[in-house]
Amino acid sequence: MTILISSRLGETRQGQAVTLRPRKSFSVAMLLLLLSGCGPVPQPAASPSAQTAAATPAASAATTDPHTMKQNNHAALSWQSKVFGQLPDGREVTLVTLKNNHGVELDVINYGGIITRLITPDATGKPGDIVLGYDNLSQYLDNNPYFGAIIGRFGNRIAKGQFAIDGKSYQLATNDGDNHLHGGVQGFDKKLWQMQPFQQADSVGVELSYLSPDGEEGYPGNLQVKVIYTLTNNNELQMQFQATTDQTTPVNLTQHSYFNLAGAGSILEHQLEIPAAQITPVGAGLIPTGELQAVAGTPFDFRTAKAIGRDIEVEDAQLKLGLGYDHNFVLKATVDDSLVLAGRVLEPTSGRVLEVWTDEPAVQFYSGNFLDGSLTGKGVQYGHRSGFCLEPQHYPDTPNQSTFPSTLLKPGETYSAQIVYRFSTKS
């Protein structure tokens, strides 16, 4: 039985494409003050970041130690923060826990904007963690294959780490053989972001911000980035990405959570649907050839749901290059701001369902091919194909592919992208 009827910040969605429209609101605590005549008339907040624990009387009453713990409770809907650790240079890393009214909760740290834990109920109501990750900061610092992180400036690969803008050549850091991957050696996944929790009438979240300076990892321009995670009472995690620049630069942001809807074990029996008729085939180094390839008649046809493992060992040149699935699936013929389904996954034993929606033109599906059992987190050994990723984004190597939708952001423009994780169950 499905436990979710979805609406997006006041707009009902029955599977059709919609656009996020944030809604102004105030807390129940303020409403009670108003009705009792004990407080001033509350003013709607101008932005989510303005709605913090300090704005709610209940927050100070629930605070245990203001230096290590803050919390803001609104029935079951709540956020709570604590210290997660320190970076080698002494800067403090904070963890915020977000909870909704239906048993969905997640932990986010401001190092890399990493989602370290994501709890959802199974079909019987039993909660479980559905993302791969670690228990402590030192593991994320030592060896993190992008578990749960914000990826930027450019998600995926750029050939040879090189591109040109208006005739000027740029050399990026190369951290994937001869190629540039996921923003370089010190991408956004390894940066300490500013993080501000907020609460609205039917959601809680965090706003993350980071200034990427001109020349970082070889990219031109000062890039101001903002990412907002919002957990709603409709069992959705909504993510909004924004950026502005003072020089033309490529931007392709995404979220890199590894999922296992059973909580552990192989993901090969997960039933996956990706409504894409084409992929961007790759050559050596998983760099796109520049062509589009139809999925019909190939192991890449997920237009009807099938087990991830059904065709993963089929004799296929693209599967050999990726050592499994590590490919970009085309979702849209043209780029616009409408939300479309990027992927739907059912784990048959738990009954958990994950849907990924986005306004991006493509999604990278990765089947955990490089996990080899050498990493252990949360008491679980992460073996081969024990997690999968669905990363909405623009096409790989776009700065070098003139026929791909552009990823160039110019001064005066605002980069904007949306990703939504929708959680439900099916008996």
Q: Which residues are catalytic?
A: 256, 391
Q: Concatenated DSSP letters for 145-159?
A: SSTTEEE-SB-SEEG
Q: How far is 335 from 221, CA to CA, in rounded Å?
A: 24
Q: How far is 341 from 366, CA to CA, in rounded Å?
A: 17
396 closest CA partner among 273, 288, 269: 288
Q: If you search the block for the tokens 């009902």, which residue do you land on?
A: 12
How would you list the strands of the sheet with 92-99, edge to edge? Answer: 69-74, 77-86, 92-99, 105-109, 115-121, 127-129
| Sign of the alpha-carbon torsion through 43, 47, 48, 54 | negative
**What is the helix (H) or strand (E) element at residue 167, kind and residue range?**
none
Backbone angles phi, psi at 205, to 5 degrees: -170, -175
Contacts of 414 (CB under 8 A, 6+ apart): 242, 243, 244
Q: Write the single-letter amino acid at 103.
A: G
Strand partners, 278: 294, 330
Q: How far is 191 from 140, CA to CA, in rounded Å?
A: 12
257 closest CA partner among 107, 388, 108: 388
**What is the helix (H) or strand (E) element at residue 97, kind and residue range?**
strand 92-99
Q: Which two tokens stand for residue 202?
A: 């039917």
Q: How far is 391 from 400, CA to CA, in rounded Å?
A: 20
Q: Concatenated DSSP letters for 191-207?
A: SB-EEEEEEETTEEEEE
Q: How far is 334 from 326, CA to CA, in rounded Å?
A: 23
State the distance between the two ends of the chain, measured CA to CA, in whole angstroms. 5
What is the separation of C-alpha 258 from the centre of its chain, rounded to a whole number of angstroms? 10
